[in-house]
Structure 1
Amino acid sequence: MAALEVILNPGRWGRQFAFEATWGPSWQRASMLNGAGDEYSIVFTPDGAWAFGFDHESEMSPYRCDPLALWPGLLDGMPEAFRALVDEPAFCDPDGPTMRATVCFWRERGAAGWACGAPMAPTRPGEDGGAGWLFEVLCGGAEGYGAFARDNYRAEIDVEAVQQVYGLKQLTPEVIARLNPGADVSVLADGLGAIGLEVRG
């Protein structure tokens, strides 16, 4: 999705999805910022993957109280290997050490599946901390990203070309042209390189 954002939006402004291949020591980070105050990050470490999301309108927001506090039970059972990420300044409120999170989950290396804490039940019907919509495009595959791009960029998207990017096929000028006929491949090189991709052919 980060590569598609670079291709469809070479000017950077308005991109929602990003990937940093060298975000930290042996860490990689996928992220979403929608410009409306909502976000998520997924950090890949040698110990596994750790993710959080923040829905700024959620009842589970740490901003519901003063001083800020995470929703009770949100991090229950979280492995110690991911503890440093909870205190990562990039994920915390600028005025305090509290992480901006309404949902959190993780998967330890070698684990059979994802895990999460045991958060206290919210009072608002249907409240899930944004888990149901924050990761919607991520879980929607090529069709899901195509729908997002049509809404966000007001353009018809070649879903087969999107599928080629999703399938980690070789990224060629031809694929890029199918996605964004006006794109200058040389301009995209730095943005794609930061993700860990290069254009070949």
Structure 2
Amino acid sequence: MPAVKGLLDLMRQRLDPVDGDGGTGFRGDGDLNGLPSPSGRKLRPAAVLAPLILHDGPPRLLFTERASHLLKHPGQISFPGGSLDPGDAGPAQAALREVEEEIGVSADHVELVGRFESYETGTGFQITPFVGVLRPGYDLKPDPGEVASVFEAPFDFLMDPLNHQQRSGVWQGQERHYYAMPWEDRYIWGVTAGLLKSLHDKLYG
């Protein structure tokens, strides 16, 4: 499949090394709101994986829907990921650990391709995002304590600038602007949409 090879070649050329410092840029919730990134705040380190599926059809990205009983961001669409634990060797290991904990896919079934810009959230996290190809043969086993459902969305749709909507809402008494990329009955927005926009700019900007 030449298109798949071309996408992987592009990612290997444009994404930062997995073990690099990610020093080529910094993105954040403040990008659409006139706020600096990085802001200088003390941030809690976190990591996520954008799981890329290249087998059985056109390229897709895998997402989770957070469980409705969670205290933080219930029901929102996200990439597998979370805060770094003391035992993690670094962001890459944290992202792989979270993928296994949240959706049951072990590191043996993930090929890390690269990382893109760190992302500062309004809630005080510095997220290191990675792209990883899911190798065939994995079984999804979502943790019901964290994940309500898992779904895939077309990579081409998510990377199309025409689908990068800008919306606004009131948060803590102030109007805030954010990206949204609704797909079918799924509402991808906020940090996850911001990460997708950052990935697009890294690859095609």
Q: Which of the five TM-score ranges fits, normalised by the shorter chain?
A: under 0.3
With CA pairs under 8 Å and 6+ residues apart, which has the higher RCO, 1 or 2?
A: 2
TM normalised by structure 2 equals: 0.27
User: Which has the larger helix fraction?
Assistant: 1
TM normalised by structure 1 equals: 0.27
Structure ID, larger Rg? 1
